[in-house]
Amino acid sequence: MFNLFKRKAVDFFSPQDKEQIVNAIKKAEHKTSGEIRVYIESDCNHTNAIDRAVEIFEDLEIYKTKQRNGVLVYVAIKARKLAIYGDQGIYESVGKEFWDAQVEKMIHFFNKNDYAEGIGAIVTEVGDALRKHFPYDAQTDVNELPDDIVFGN
* Per-residue pLDDT of the chain in tens (153 residues, 90 and over written 9): 344 555 577 788 999 999 999 999 999 999 999 999 999 999 998 889 999 999 999 999 999 999 999 999 999 998 999 999 999 999 989 999 999 999 999 999 999 999 999 999 999 999 999 999 999 988 888 999 999 999 998
Q: What local confidence, expressed as pLDDT, does residue 1 receive?
A: 35
Domain residue spans of the chain? 4-151
pLDDT of residue 84: 96
Rounded Cα distance, 63 and 111, in Å? 31
Rounded CA separation 79/42 (Å):
7
The model's pTM: 0.92
Give CA–CA dist 133/79, Å, rounded. 33
- Say which CATH class 4-151 falls into: alpha beta
Residue 29 is predicted with a pLDDT of 96
What pLDDT score does 6 carry? 53
